[in-house]
Amino acid sequence: VHEAVAQLVAERGSAAVNVADVAAASGVHPTSIYRRWGTLEGLLLDVALARIEKDAPIPDKGSLRSDLLAFAKQASTTISGPDGFALLRAIIAMDDVQPDRDGVRSASRARLLARRGAQLQEMLDRAKARGERPLEFTDVLDGLLAPIYMRFLFGVGGVDRAYLAHLVDRLVMAPSRARRGRRK
């Protein structure tokens, strides 16, 4: 199913892919696709994340600074490529992001993103075990991924090597977060 989606998205762009075509191309019944992924958007998000996990594995370079810098470089490369764009597009399209609907909302966005978040947390926990600054993955989301993604989306500011290094420095040398406690 993943291969069928990747193929169709490459051919037509993600906006022109539907579950019926994915079912036909993969030989898997549409009902099974809906049962497993909930929605087309959930499936597209899963495929984009799987490719990102494969092409941009979480770094393990022996120091927090090196890991964060490598992660930041990956993120800035990914977001400006088709996978990162597909991921953003899939997230935006998901039912549980849209504010103008009530009723049942899919939790698949949070579930899918949690997998990558857990991998990132393992990287941070390795640093903590080495005696380096303990960070939560939400710190990396706020201080690294968020500015990189927003500068790309808004088309302002620019993201070069010096800027990424600056963001990493701020995370590695951030003042104590004791004031706001530990957030989930």
Site for its own copies in 37-66 (CB under 8 A): none
Is position 182 an interface residue for its own copies (rule: CB under 8 A)?
no
Site string for its own copies, 3-32 (x = CB under 8 A): ----------x-------------------
Kindly state the tokens that stand for 61: 């370079």
Site string for its own copies, 129-158 (x = CB under 8 A): ---------x--xxx-xxx-xxxxxxxxxx
Q: How far is Cα of residue 47 from the mean position of the Cα atoms in its chain? A: 11
Report the SS3 class of residue 172: helix
8 A C-beta contact, residue 1 and residue 23: no
Site for its own copies in 79-98 (CB under 8 A): 80-82, 84-85, 88-89, 91-92, 96-98
Give whichever of 15 and 129 is closer to its own copies, judged by the CB atom: 15
Kind plus residue range of the DSSP H or E element containing 43: helix 40-55
Size of the site for its own copies (CB under 8 A): 45
Task: Write phi, then psi, for 136 (nearest 5 degrees).
Answer: -100, 155
Environment class of residue 127 by beta-carbon count within 10 Å: exposed (0-12), middle (13-18) or buried (19+)? Answer: buried
- The one-letter amino acid code at 103 reads G
Environment class of residue 59 by beta-carbon count within 10 Å: exposed (0-12), middle (13-18) or buried (19+)? Answer: middle
**Binding span for its own copies by CB under 8 A among 41-49, 66-74, 78-86, 118-126:** 78-86
Among 64, 109, 123, 127, binds its own copies (CB under 8 A): 109
Query: Footprint of its own copies on this chain (CB under 8 A)?
Result: 13, 80-82, 84-85, 88-89, 91-92, 96-100, 109-110, 113-114, 117, 138, 141-143, 145-147, 149-158, 162-163, 166-167, 179-180, 183-184
